[in-house]
Structures are given as structure tokens and as C-alpha cells.
Structure 1
Amino acid sequence: MRLLENLKWRYATKKFDPSKNIRDKDLEKLKEAIQLSVSSYGLQLYKVLVIENQKLRTQLKKASWDQSQITDASHLFVFCNYTDRSEKYIDDYIQATAKIQGTSLDKLTVYGDFMKKSLSQKTDSEWISWSEKQTYLALSNLLTACAELKIDACPMEGFEPDKYNDILGLKEKGLNAAVIAPVGFRSEDDHTQFRKKVRKPKELLFQSL
């Protein structure tokens, strides 16, 4: 299974080679992998910013504990969860489902109402926690796709979301920066690439019942 070998190859890259950029066709593959991610109810209540602009990334670096990955990587992916609780997102999803699957809206109304009721029962703090978790599902697909394409990535929580929101104007758009991932190609000087991967043994990680 080549996927397992590729997952063994990948690591959280600490130092990128700023002279190497991702090819456009590979970037589109990464986007498609994110697009195909699972999400609760299939709603995908998030937006992913793909930032190349170096001036903007220099600003974001200051809000990321001055970590070099932000500016040295080929691209910076910023996963943003929706902060507003509009039922319009569910209506849009139901309409898209009807169109793509050739199903009448009447048959999907019950499912749409179920989602609205279920999500309306969440408190504000529960909503925030739930919506942020959705971005991590999409992030996982990005990391796996990067490994398949032998593109390096570094998932990061080491940044200041409020400052990202201000710099990128996210609050006005009903978005919040939840997690980020610089992607590109490792520098030969990144010594962490030579460290052996440390993971729990299977007998500790899994339990059969």
C-alpha cells in the first residue's frame, strides 16, 4: 500500500526551501482533495484561503510567532470556519443536492429541516467548537494528498487567530481562521526530516472489543 509508505515519508516540515514552488497542476490536485473531504452532514461550512502574496504572508508571519514556514513555503493554506449560523447554508446544500443528484426538493425537505433543528440546538460555544473541528477534517485530506504528491506540509496551530482575522478581513465575512498549513518543499537544512517518526505502538493505540 503506497499510501502507508507516503505517510511514513511525510513529517511536519519546519524549514521550507523558498526557491521551490508547487506546480499549478499539483496545486489543483490539492484543492480537489480538500473539496472531496468529508464533513458533518456534507455541509462543508468552511472556506480555505490559499495565500501566495508575500507581502500578506509577511504580515501573517508576525501573527504566527515569527515562524519561517509562513513566508518560505510555496503556499499558505488558511482553513476558516463559518461563524454565523445562517440556515441559508443548509438551504443552499439541499438545492445543490437536488440539482446534482436529480432529486426533487420535496423529498429533501425533511432532511433539511432535520439539519436545521439539530444545529439550532447547539449553544454558541458548541457551534464554535463544532465548526472549527470541520476544518480539521479538510486539513487531513490536504496532508494526505501532499504526502501522495511528495509535497511537504506543516499543520500549525501556532498562530494568533484574532490577528489573522483582522489582517485577512475575515470577521466581516463571517469567517474565523481555525488552522493553517504552509505547503511546499523541505529545505535540505531542515534536520527534523531525518528524525525517526515517533508513534504509539498498535497494541497501545488500538483495542478490539
Structure 2
Amino acid sequence: MTSVVSPDQLLQQLHWRYATKKFDPTKKIPQEVWEALEKSLVLAPSSFGLQPWKFFVVTNPQTRQQLVAHSWNQTQVADASHLVVLAIKKEINDAYVDHYVQHMASVRETSVENLAGFGNVVKGFLTNPPYPLDLEEWAKRQVYVALGQLMTSAALLGIDTCPMEGFAPAKYDETLGLTELGYASVVLCPLGYRATDDKYAVMPKVRFPQEEMVQYL
């Protein structure tokens, strides 16, 4: 398959991307661009394809301003065009696996019975894993895969992002009502356009040399 994006274009956008410290609150992401970014989240890979998450897009300006105090006073959560709260599903049980298998059967036009073996493997992994497994930690690792896909997709579309762990998850869960919905916030990602006076935008990207970070065995 021919590359849709050239290697040079990919690297150019990854060099362009940085954790935006100051967003321009007057600039909004066009709807068609946002829809593509939203779909990039839905298309993110996860272990077994289970998608043990939900992505909450906070749109109310008053709520977002309220969240600044729960984000170490970082104003990106209020100033960015969009704010995504990436959260884990608190309970991944047999019923959830059955729901996923039923959906898979519908999408792939097969029977649930044909997928019973797969469903049993997943249930076995969750209840009797081959190694010590904390399901919440496992789900959090899946969320970071989705975060990476969102950030890369945004960079390719010329949209700025700022991944943020500097916030109080319990306060976010309380403010947004996530606990009652069965979810817990893990990481934030404001998206939008960098402010022209964000000094970090022009700072050289600091990374260890490639030969120090990549080793062939």
C-alpha cells in the first residue's frame, strides 16, 4: 500500500508537536476536523479489542473553568478548543465481555456461538490471568494507547494537544459525575491551537540521541 503520509511529513509533524502550555481561546477546531479526531479515539486499539474506557468531551465553559482549580491551576483545560477526559470503565466483567462479543458478532455478521471460544478466553484472562493482574491498572494502560493515537492524529492534522496528568482525578470524577456512570478519570487532553506567545512552541525539542534510545538485538 502506498503511504498516505510520507516519512518526512510524519517526522515533521512529530517535531512540530509539543505539550502546549498556552492555547488561543479564540480559535476553535473546525467540526469536520474534530469529528475525525473523535473517530481516531474510537478506532484506538486495545487488548482483546475490549475498549475498557470512555472519552468524555467537556463542553460547558463554566464547568471547564471550574476544573482549572482541580488541574493544578493549569488554564489549558479552560482555554483549549476541546477538553477530553480519558477514563476507565470501573467494572470489566463477564456481562461486558458478552456485550462486546454480541457486538462483534453483529459487525462481522456471524453468530455469538461462533465467537464463544474467544469470549471464554477473554473471561479467563480477566478472572484468572497468566500473571498477576490489577484490572484497573491494565485498563489505565489501555487508555494511554488511545491517548497516543489521539495526539498523533492531532499532530498530523495540525492540531495542538497537551497530555495532562497534573489534576485531581477524584475531583474530576465528582464534578463530572463520572463515578455514578461507572467510570474513573485517568488522563486529560486539551486540544486546540497554540497561542502566538507560548514560548514553549519555539523551544528545541529535547530528546536523547536515537542511538541511545533504540537498540537492535
TM-score, normalising length: structure 2:
0.93
Other structure's SS at 2:134 match: helix
Aligned counterparts of 2:56 and 2:92: Cα–Cα separation in 1: 20
CA contact (8 A) 1:52 1:74 kept: no
Residue correspondence of structure 1 range 1-209 to structure 2 within 5 A: 1=7, 2-121=9-128, 126-209=134-217
What is the percentage of aligned positions where both structures have the same residue?
42
Identify unmatched segments of 5+ residues in structure 2. Answer: 1-6
Structure 1 residue 124: Cα displacement: 10
Where in structure 1 do 4 or more consecutive aligned residues deviate above 2 Å?
Answer: 121-125
Structure 1 residue 142: Cα displacement: 0.7
In the alignment, residue 57 of structure 2 is paired with which amino acid? V
Structure 1 residue 125: Cα displacement: 7.3
In the alignment, residue 177 of structure 2 is paired with which amino acid? G
- Could you report, residue by residue, the CA deviation over 1:153-198 in whole angstroms, capped at 9, with x for unpaired residues? 0000000000001001111111000000000000011000011111
Equivalent residue pairs, number: 209
Aligned counterparts of 2:193 and 2:78: Cα–Cα separation in 1: 13
Other structure's SS at 2:88 match: strand
TM-score, normalising length: structure 1:
0.96
Other structure's SS at 2:55 match: strand
Aligned counterparts of 1:193 and 1:7: Cα–Cα separation in 2: 13
Aligned counterparts of 1:89 and 1:200: Cα–Cα separation in 2: 42
In the alignment, residue 64 of structure 1 is paired with which amino acid? S
Aligned counterparts of 1:188 and 1:207: Cα–Cα separation in 2: 38
Q: How well do the aligned residues superpose, as a CA RMSD in angstroms?
A: 1.4
